[in-house]
Chain A
């Protein structure tokens, strides 16, 4: 009985580990496009583990966008640009 419990717990851990691949694939956040890789310019080295998304703002009737890093809490783009 105790072996079965341990077997169950081991199997559960393996199941959780494997199912993470499915459950957390491409999480969707509102008004954000998740881009696994962030590249602000060709010459700039950007860390890979970086979930980014565009933020939008309307200024004088014109829509602008800017890339925000949800992982590092900073703007990846230096300016707002026209969307």
Chain B
């Protein structure tokens, strides 16, 4: 049986964080060329599933109870900030730290998601009215790459002085944006092959998903780092495709082309240029390491990595981290019942002993040891 509660949601985030940490290790293996990038992307649906299905498997979950820090944190969030003195529609409304925090987190997440969507939309609007390039040389190279790789989708090329570095855009119709630079045939081939593979691999959808994930979980630094990691691996997978069959000389030229693009991007002022959610600059060093490294895939490591991802995903459902609140000593201290602080309410055959106006003991039959206390009859 499945159940959702606050702690199962918290533990789903913990499980997702563990998968993200695994992805960081996988990224290093991909850069070294030891495993394929497919294994890295294999973790993405598991990460998504862990976040979308924050269930607890009842009676199968093992609880890890934490007595330090976590109870204090929970107590802090349970603290009542504001309580209305009068009921509203019969409800007593009180605001806790957790309520305030969840509203604040949600509000910022919504703003960030809107920012991501508006960035995409603004770029779409800016590119919509720019006419396609009619440069025959560029179109010939584009057609050559499409025919060579059997790409069945069409792509349009835009050249504009406000584009600071090549990028591709579009979920259903691909647009490749190039700066107004006179590229050589070789450079054009490198750039177009790289950008076309972005569309072929549908990496734009993954980028969009990751940007939205980073917007929703903006408060989690691991998710931001994961977003940068995924962006790097997407670029690396396109580089791998674009440099298939290249010798060292051609690889060096490809890297020189990448470097020259980075230099041009740094020359232009950011506000004056069209750029598409600029990727992490550190990803360039990773791409260099990948292209220049010897790629010897290990099938065993690929299989083991996939196994570890799947195992971690399923295992994360079988344990939960919970706070441990020990019972306060005052709660189990034997009270002294006197006529001033205690009384008994009798309802039919049962008795409830009240201590300091709070129900304290329930008796199915009267106990003579409480005979000193006054008895109040309660009828329905």
Contacts and interface: CB of A to CB of B under 8 A. Distances in A.
Interface of A: 2-3, 6-7, 9-11, 13-14, 17-18, 20-21, 24-27, 36-37, 47-49, 51, 55, 57-62, 64, 68-73, 75, 78-82
A21 B64 CA distance: 10
Given A27-B63, A48-B58, A51-B65, A80 B362 contact: yes
A49 B320 contact: yes
Closest CB pairs A-B (n = 7): A73-B325, A79-B362, A60-B369, A48-B3, A49-B7, A17-B315, A47-B5
Contact of B332 (A7, A14, A57, A78): A57
B170 interface: no
A36 to B, nearest CB: 6
Contacts of A58: 334
Given A13-B312, A17-B315, A36-B59, A79 B361 contact: yes
Given A14-B307, A49-B5, A80-B361, 12 more contacts: A11-B308, A14-B312, A18-B315, A21-B319, A25-B62, A48-B3, A55-B327, A55-B332, A59-B335, A73-B75, A73-B323, A75-B331
B318 interface: yes
Given A3-B29, A10-B305, A27-B65, A49 B361 contact: no
Interface of B: 3, 5-8, 18, 21-22, 25, 28-29, 32, 34, 56, 58-59, 61-65, 71, 74-75, 298, 301, 304-305, 307-308, 311-312, 315-316, 318-320, 322-327, 331-332, 334-335, 352, 359-364, 367, 369-370
Nearest to B310: A14
Contact of B25 (A6, A36, A47, A59): A6
25 contacts: A3-B29, A3-B32, A6-B29, A11-B304, A14-B312, A17-B18, A17-B311, A21-B315, A24-B63, A25-B62, A26-B62, A36-B61, A47-B7, A48-B5, A48-B56, A49-B7, A51-B322, A57-B332, A59-B334, A68-B327, A71-B323, A73-B74, A75-B331, A79-B361, A82-B364
